[in-house]
Amino acid sequence: MNSFVLSHCSVYQQGRFAPGEILVEDGVITRIGQGVPRPAGLPEIDGGGMRAVPGFIDAHTHGAVGVDVNAADEAGLKKIAAFFASQGVTAFNASVLTDTEEQTLRCIETIKKVARQRGYGAQLLGAHLEGPFLSPQYKGAMPEWLLRAGDTDLLKRYMASAGETLRYLTVAPEVPGVAELIPYAAPRTAVALGHSGATYEQSMQAIRDGARAITHTFNGMQLFHQHAPGLMGAGLESDVWCEAICDGRHLHPGTVCMLLKCKGYGRVVAITDSIMAAGLPDGRYKLGVNDVIVRDGDARLAVGDSRAGSTLTMRQALINLMRFTMEPLEKALPLLTQNPAALLRIDRQKGCLAPGLDADIVLLDDQCQVRRTFVRGDCVYQREEQP
C-alpha cells in the first residue's frame, strides 16, 4: 500500500511542526495540510499524535547487524536496509572501503542490483567509494597496500560498472593524479575530500574544481594550524558540506558545536560511518579486509588500534546532536535529512516533506523512538507495541 492519508500527526515542514495530514499517492506526497481533500476510499493511517518527519539519509555507512558492505551479497544489503529502517533511515549509500579492483567491481554490481529493487527497507541509493585514491599518511582504517595514485582509467571502469549508482566518491586531492581526476568526476558524482594531508591551497583548488564535501570532518586529515590551515581550514571557510560522526567518540561534543557555529546548520551532514557491528554487542568484526575489535561500543583495528568506523545509528546521532547542542529536534533534523539530500543532489526527490517528493516519512514518538518508517509510500518498519 503506497497510497494513503496519514492523519492525526504533527508534520515537520520548513523548520517547524504543525498539525496536519499527508496525502500520499503512488508513493509520492501530493498534499499536506489540515483536512486535505482525498480520493474516495483511500486508506487512512492514524499517526497517533506523533511527529511526522522526513526520513533520515545516511550518506556514509559500511554496514550493520553483522553485514560488511565489502563482503555483502544482495540478502546482506537488504538486511542492512531493514535494520536502518528501524532507525528512521529511508535512504543510504553503501560505502565500499578501499579494496582490490575485482572486489570493488563485485561490490558495485551487487549494490546496483539491490538499488533497482524496492520494499526491502531503507532505499539503497548506490555506492560510495571511499578510496582507493587516498593518502597513506592519513589512511586510518584503509589498507595501505591497496591505496594508489589517482587513476582516471580505473575510475572510468568503476563508473561504467555503476552507472548512476555511483553516488559518492572520497579522494585525497594531494595524491598524485587526483587533482586531474576531480574535475572529471565532479559532474558525474558527488566528490568529497578526506583521508588527506592536503594543503589549504590544494584543498581550495579541489573545491573550485567541484568537490562538494569533507569526509568525516576533523577525522583522517591534517588538522588546523594557524600557519597551515590545510583541508580542515578549507572545509570551514568554504561552502562545502561537512560530514560529522556524532557518536561522542570521533568528535567531542564541543567540536560538533564549533563545526555548527562555523558552518551553520545548513552545511553539516550527520553520518554514521557505521560498520557491521552496529546494532550488535561488543566483539570481533570485519571492516573490509581489516579485523576490528569493538569494546564498549568503540570500534578499533585489531592491529594498530586506529578507530575503524563506528557502531552509531542515525537515530542515536539525532539524539546526540540535540544533547550536544541543547537545541530542539526542529533544529537538528536538517543534518539528517535535507542536507544529505542536497549534498547527493537528490533534494528534488527526498530530504523534506513536500508535495512532489517521495513519501519517505518517519513517525517519531516523544522519546524520538521510531514507530513507523515509510519508503516511497511503503511501510517498511512498524515498531511493535511494548507490553
Active-site residue numbers? Answer: 273
The whole-angstrom separation of Cα 255 and Cα 204 is: 22
What CA–CA distances, in Å, run from 258 to 5, 230, 234, 236, 263? 41, 17, 15, 10, 9
The whole-angstrom separation of Cα 377 and Cα 363 is: 13
Enumerate residues 6+ apart whose C-beta is below 8 A from 369.
383
Torsion of CA 132, 136, 137, 140, to 10 degrees: 60
Asked whether 265 and 333 are in contact (CB, 8 A), the reply is no
Among 374, 316, 341, 281, smallest CA distance to 85 is for 374
What CA–CA distances, in Å, run from 370 to 66, 80, 156, 269, 357? 21, 16, 40, 20, 21
CA 127 to chain centre: 11
Among 70, 198, 206, 58, smallest CA distance to 129 is for 70
Among 177, 320, 67, 296, smallest CA distance to 92 is for 67
Q: Which set of grid coordinates corresponds to residue 311?
A: 557502531
